[in-house]
Each structure stands twice: as C-alpha cells, then as structure tokens.
C-alpha cells in the first residue's frame, strides 16, 4: 500500500516530503479584508511573485515541502499555491478548516448552529474537500485545520473539532491545530481523542507559545506531535522570546521527545487587505519573522548549544513523513 500525501499538484508518497516546514502562510487575511477592497484589494500578481521568491529561498536551504494551513475564510487560495508549486518545484500542502472564534468568520456557521444544522454541514464541507477537492479546482487539502481560543474551546469551535474527528476516522486525514497564546494544547488533544482521533495524526500547533515543559508533556505523553512553529514572533500575541523557545525545546529533546516535534515560523508572506503597519518597537522585536530565520539563526544556535544533527533532521524531515505515513489507513467509525 502506498502512503500518500495530497499536495496542491496531486498526491505524493509520504517518504518524498523531505525537509518540511509544518506551518507557513503564503497568503493570509483576517476575515473582513474583503470589505476593504477599495484600498486593500488583493494584488494576485504581487502575491504570486512574492510566493515564488519565498519558495525559491526556502528551496535554497534544502526545503522540499511547506504545509500552508490557511483556513478557508482567511484567504485560502489553492490555485495560487498550485501555481507557486508548479513554477518552483516546492511541494505545498493546503488545508480545509476554519479559524478560532475570536478572529474567524463566525456569523455564517453560528447562524446555522442556531438552526441546528451547522455540525453536519461542517462535516460535509470537510469531507467533500478532502475527497473531491476544493470548489471546482480538483485540488485536495492534505490536512484539516482547527483552532481554539485563549483558555477555552468554545461551543462554536467544538463543532469543527467534532466534524474533523469524524472525517479523520473515515479518511485518515491529518489534523493540524492553532492554539492561542500558549493555552489549550492538552485540552485539544484530549478532545480529539475523545472523539476517536488517532494522536499520531494530530499536530498541536503553536506549542512554543508556552515555556512550561509540563504543558508540553501533557500533549507529548498522549502520542501527538507538537509544533514549535512561531520562531521569529516576539512581543506579540503573548509570545515568548526565541531564546525561551530554544530553552524549552532543548529540555523536551533531553526528555526524549525529538521524534514528536516539528519546526516552522507561521510567517505570512502576503497579507490580504492593506499591509500591516507595526509600531517601531514591535518591528524591532519582529525583525526575524521571515521564512529563512530557522536556517539562518535558530538551527545554527541549536547546533551551538549541542543539538546533534540527527535531531535536527528528525524534526524537519523524519517527523513530517511519519505524520502522514499512515494517512490512508482508515479507522472504523
């Protein structure tokens, strides 16, 4: 049996993923950007040219694959990702999924939640995109993206978790999550497992937003993967410094959990709507939030602090392949 991963240009075998960044956005927009299109309209050509430049830059560091978990309502653009992939050779995995309640596009499914139809409709949406493709593009997502709020998984968010778990049980699809400000990682994996998910097909994202190793161990001990995927984000959204992230990562490696950790930045290469204008003090703190940061700064620092080369390879190459390897194996509902 082949163990394949859906990319925007079609399925590939999981062992061909190669060096992988597990969480980056080629385009992203907070819901509402459509209403600012007179001054913040989408420049597709700029997004394409920027995406190609970033893809080639990443490939120069040996990156083979990028997972782009942009939610459906936040500017997801599978056709653009496909063109970037075809023009550069970078393998890109896109998502089906919705963002957390506080920053997502909630009215549509919240209204339908009140009618009692939303959970089934969310399941149908995930299922159709996973099995048939997004809209009429034929491009199939390789992951389901879920997200929760700071300190809580709301009833709105819970619908998406339940629907995603149902699809994973049927299709074996990998689930990748967003956690807000270093909270709810353990609760996410517990809820998904309660709904019947396989922890080996779950990546709890943004875990590096929390420097408490006990918080991480509560997830790792369940068998799920975690992502240290916000390197470069400092001084915003409750994020710790990169130095603090590195210290936490090294502790977890010492505990023997290298084979459940993946790395990335959560960069946004092109913002939908108007470009963000950050205060100068934040700009200085965020100056390393770019897709080369891991390779130019973080990995050299890990080596300097004694991390073996094999551990770095495991986090960037072995673990992503392992995550997707059993994707075709279905679990009985």
CA atoms of 168 and 151, how far apart (whole Å): 25
Per-residue pLDDT reduced to its tens digit, 230-244: 999 998 888 999 999
Per-residue pLDDT reduced to its tens digit, 107-166: 999 999 999 999 999 999 999 999 999 999 999 999 999 999 999 999 999 999 999 999
Whose tokens are 């050509």? That residue is 45
Per-residue pLDDT reduced to its tens digit, 7-16: 999 999 999 9
Residues with Cβ within 8 Å of residue 120, at least 6 apart in sequence: 163
Q: Which of 180, 204, 173, 181 is nearest to 191 (CA)?
A: 204
8 Å CB contact between 195 and 160 = no
Average pLDDT value for residue range 273-293: 94
Say what the pTM is.
0.96
CA atoms of 234 and 29, how far apart (whole Å): 20
Per-residue pLDDT reduced to its tens digit, 30-77: 999 999 999 999 999 999 999 999 999 999 999 999 999 999 999 999
* Residue 203 predicted with pLDDT over 70: yes
pLDDT at 1: 38
CA atoms of 228 and 264, how far apart (whole Å): 6
Mean pLDDT of the chain: 96
CA atoms of 111 and 134, how far apart (whole Å): 23
Tell me the pLDDT band of 268, cut-offs 50, 70 and 90: very high
CA atoms of 89 and 92, how far apart (whole Å): 9
């Amino acid at each position: 049996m082949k163990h394949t991963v859906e990319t925007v240009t079609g399925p590939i075998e999981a062992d061909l993923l190669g060096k992988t960044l597990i969480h980056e956005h080629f385009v992203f927009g907070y819901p509402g950007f459509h209403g600012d299109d007179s001054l913040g309209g989408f420049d597709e050509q700029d997004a394409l040219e920027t995406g190609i430049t970033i893809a080639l830059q990443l490939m120069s560091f040996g990156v083979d694959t990028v997972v782009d978990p942009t939610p459906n309502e936040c500017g997801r653009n599978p056709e653009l990702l496909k063109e970037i992939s075809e023009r550069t050779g970078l393998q890109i995995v896109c998502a089906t999924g919705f963002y957390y309640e506080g920053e997502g596009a909630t009215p549509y499914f919240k209204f339908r939640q009140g009618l009692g139809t939303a959970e089934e409709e969310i399941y149908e949406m995930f299922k159709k995109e996973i099995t048939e493709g997004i809209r009429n593009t034929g491009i199939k997502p390789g992951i389901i993206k879920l997200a929760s709020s700071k300190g809580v998984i709301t009833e709105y968010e819970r619908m998406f978790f339940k629907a995603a778990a149902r699809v994973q049980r049927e299709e074996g699809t990998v689930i990748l999550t967003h956690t807000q400000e270093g909270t709810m990682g353990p609760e996410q994996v517990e809820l998904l497992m309660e709904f019947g998910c396989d922890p080996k097909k779950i990546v709890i994202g943004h875990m590096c937003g929390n420097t408490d190793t006990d918080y991480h161990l509560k997830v790792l001990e369940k068998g799920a993967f975690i992502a240290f995927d916000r390197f470069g984000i400092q001084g915003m959204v409750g994020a710790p410094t990169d130095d603090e992230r590195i210290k936490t990562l090294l502790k977890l490696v010492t505990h023997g959990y290298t084979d459940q950790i993946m790395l990335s930045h959560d960069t946004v290469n092109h913002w939908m709507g108007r470009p963000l204008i950050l205060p100068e003090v934040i700009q200085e703190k965020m100056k390393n939030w770019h897709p080369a940061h891991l390779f130019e700064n973080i990995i050299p620092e890990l080596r300097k602090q004694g991390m073996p080369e094999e551990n770095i390879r495991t986090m960037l190459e072995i673990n992503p392949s392992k995550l997707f390897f059993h994707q075709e194996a279905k679990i009985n509902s």
